[in-house]
Amino acid sequence: MRENDCNSNPVFYYAIRTITMSGEDAPAQQQKAEDQKQETKTTEQPKAESKQESQPATEAPAASATATAAEKPPEEEVFTYRSLVLSGHGGYDKVKLQVKKGKPTPKNGEVLVRVKACGLNFADLMGRQGLYDRLPSPPVTPGMECSGVIEAVGEEVTDRKVGDRVLVLHRFGMWQEVVTVIAGHTFLMPEGMSFEEAAALPVNYVTAYMMLFEFGNLRPNQSVLVHMAAGGVGIAATQLCHTVKDVTVFGTASASKHEAISQGGVTHPIDYRTRDYVEEVRKINPKGLDIALDPLGGSDTHKAFNLLKPMGKLITYGAANMLTGQRKNLLAVAKTWYNQFSINALSLMHANKSVCGYHLGHLDDEPELISQVVAKLLELYGQGKIKPRVDSTWHFEQVGDAMRRMQERNNIGKVILLPEPKKEEPKKEEDKKEEKKEEPKKEENKKEEKQEEPKKE
């Protein structure tokens, strides 16, 4: 089952290192150089899948092969699987659908999962623009979460078996038909949970839970500000707030989403496009908030801090303000950086406030912590206290449209990607034609060209 020869390939080694989250030192500098070389080679022309070995499904497809095809049993060569690959930083068209060859084999402690649904996250949008440091350099398969069925288990895996329905949380590489991951990164799906729900849960609910309960210490009668309340984390946070008695949720979203977020539990929806949310919160809670969740960054972090009452907690977990269009907007990035919140000990003391930073992508080395949180979330799901809301599902072929939906803030709930081919189209990936992945599909190309220019906002 083991493929030790793969360790001679530095890219492969890197992938394994990140998969195992073992924390051991890798030759990072050397790896970086290798990645960059690859990027140069492959950004415009992602390599064809003919190079793919039976390496872990999360590996970037362009790894220069050191293990030759001759070393593989012939039956594994015919196995192919669809994979979304970020070919370079840029617009929606940089995420390409590829077909990879060679069945991934779970190593010691790993399982092979046949993926049924994947979650799309803000981090994926930022990663595509080169703004997310936890995604390795292209070519790389994005995707931090998925759900599916275990198809094979590696040695030393005792608590998972073939046929188990699982949800998976991983740093990257989940947007594929099959993935191999450490068994400890999979969690058994409860009865009655759909694959779409399962793929919608890990990132958003773990994030919301840890912010509200580990940092926020949310308690009865408190008040919470939730930005982007119709988004994945927003909906998760709103639901989790209501697992505590009499919590008031202020939620920002555009007016068209107010009915939905009100039904979802937002006490005071605020249309941030037409109102000053600071004023709106102060009108209702003159003393301010107990907890402010800040996914925006820049000047909004300052506003959130100032809105806190004494003993209040600001939890900053993103910089969505950097993301104003399809392509990296240097002005927005610079502005968000320039306005970045900073504070010293004395000011914090005088204010009696707490400032917390949360970044799930940097919790790689804390599998136990994450497992505990997922266990609690699945318990809450079982009790009917939380339920992921799926906004829409998109086949891998439609990943550009899916990203656009989220980028343009049209979603209410989670945007889900499905590995299975779109029914209306001929299943081209079964033809194993290279051309299909070399260029974006025509109809998508047209749409995306309209969006090539960064939006002026």
Q: Which residues bind a copy of itself (CB under 8 A)?
A: 210, 214-215, 217, 294, 297, 301, 310-311, 313, 316-319, 340-359, 362-363, 365-366, 369
Phi and psi at 99, nearest 5°, equal -110, 125
Least distance (Å) from a copy of itself to the CB of residue 243?
A: 16
Looking at the Cβ atoms of 313 and 414, the one nearer to a copy of itself is: 313
Distance CA 292, CA 305 (A): 8
Looking at the Cβ atoms of 362 and 427, the one nearer to a copy of itself is: 362
Distance CA 127, CA 317 (A): 15
Helix (H) or strand (E) holding 239: helix 232-241
Looking at the Cβ atoms of 245 and 456, the one nearer to a copy of itself is: 245
Q: Which residues contact 195 (CB under 8 A, 6 or more apart)?
A: 116, 117, 147, 148, 165, 189
Q: Which residues contact 424 (CB under 8 A, 6 or more apart)?
A: none
Phi and psi at 98, nearest 5°, equal -125, 160
Least distance (Å) from a copy of itself to the CB of residue 212?
A: 11
Distance CA 178, CA 102 (A): 11
Distance CA 353, CA 311 (A): 5
Sign of CA dihedral 236, 328, 398, 43: negative
Looking at the Cβ atoms of 26 and 351, the one nearer to a copy of itself is: 351
Least distance (Å) from a copy of itself to the CB of residue 359?
A: 4
Least distance (Å) from a copy of itself to the CB of residue 73?
A: 41
Distance CA 216, CA 238 (A): 14
Looking at the Cβ atoms of 4 and 344, the one nearer to a copy of itself is: 344
Give per-residue burial for 64-74: e unless 16+ CB within 10 Å, then b. ebebebeebee
Least distance (Å) from a copy of itself to the CB of residue 17?
A: 18
Looking at the Cβ atoms of 14 and 317, the one nearer to a copy of itself is: 317
Helix (H) or strand (E) holding 306: helix 299-307
Distance of CA 65 to the CA centre of its chain: 28
Looking at the Cβ atoms of 87 and 207, the one nearer to a copy of itself is: 207
Least distance (Å) from a copy of itself to the CB of residue 207?
A: 11
Least distance (Å) from a copy of itself to the CB of residue 133?
A: 8
Least distance (Å) from a copy of itself to the CB of residue 127?
A: 15
Least distance (Å) from a copy of itself to the CB of residue 354?
A: 4
Looking at the Cβ atoms of 301 and 392, the one nearer to a copy of itself is: 301
Looking at the Cβ atoms of 66 and 371, the one nearer to a copy of itself is: 371
Distance CA 397, CA 440 (A): 9
CA distances 421 to 150, 179, 274, 333, Å, are 20, 17, 41, 36
Beta bridge partners of 316: 294, 357
